[in-house]
Amino acid sequence: INMFITLLKKDLKLEFRSKEIILSTFVLGLSILLVFALSFQNQTKVIYEFSSGILWVVILFISTFGLNRAFSIEQESSSMWSWLSSPIDRGLVFLSKMVSISIYVLLSEIMFLIPFFIFMKIPTNFSLINLIIIILVGTLAIITIGCLISTITLQTRIRNALIPILLFPSCTPVIISATKSTMLILKNRPFIDWSFWLLLMITFFIIFSLVGYIIFDRVIEE
């Protein structure tokens, strides 16, 4: 646990010092949001029906941007060899990267949620806590899948291109679940109506977390 906290602190300190990922993902998310808002201008009913899907399209894109930077510092400084020589559980490196990227993306989401509701003209008569739960679980599931893909493509030259190519189809069940859950929450439907989709996202998160933790050691050695 102490080693995991140390690795996580290292990633967070580097990011909060530069704010490169958080600001970049926020600007990207806001730009995509503005495109959708202007495209559906004066079509309140249409944009309300598609708002949950638009939200998760934005989250998917900013997650992809964050994942492209997941191991960039180690690659640029050629310091990945240190993971091989250090007496640590290398799976903790995967978990620390997964958590740190999730924090960056969640912070970006918090910043563009208010503009999202304003631009999409969405009524706020729904449970904010339920929405936060779905956004948290959905984001964690997407980032977990993305970190596994980022790990597998770590040694490839076209890694930045491969991540979205592999991530988008792999995340389809999560995006569908998150979109349906969000839509039901915005319509004030009870928990039982969207509990299945929530459990599906949690299942994806757990499975891909375990797989990433297990195979990270082997991938690094190769």
CB 182 within 8 A of CB 128: no
Spatial separation of the C-alpha atoms in residues 56 and 71, rounded to whole Å: 24
Task: Give me the DSSP letters along 116-153.
Answer: HHHHTT----S-HHHHHHHHHHHHHHHHHHHHHHHHHT
Backbone angles phi, psi at 47, to 5 degrees: -70, -30
- pLDDT tens profile 116-155: 888 888 887 888 899 999 999 999 999 999 888 888 887 7
> Which residue matches tokens 């319509």?
187
Show the tokens assigned to 181.
């859950």
Average model confidence (pLDDT) across the chain: 83
- pLDDT tens profile 156-210: 777 778 888 888 999 999 999 999 999 999 888 899 999 999 999 999 999 999 9
Question: pLDDT tier at 20 (50, 70, 90 boundaries)?
Answer: confident
Q: How far is CA 43 from CA 32, 40, 46, in A?
A: 18, 5, 5
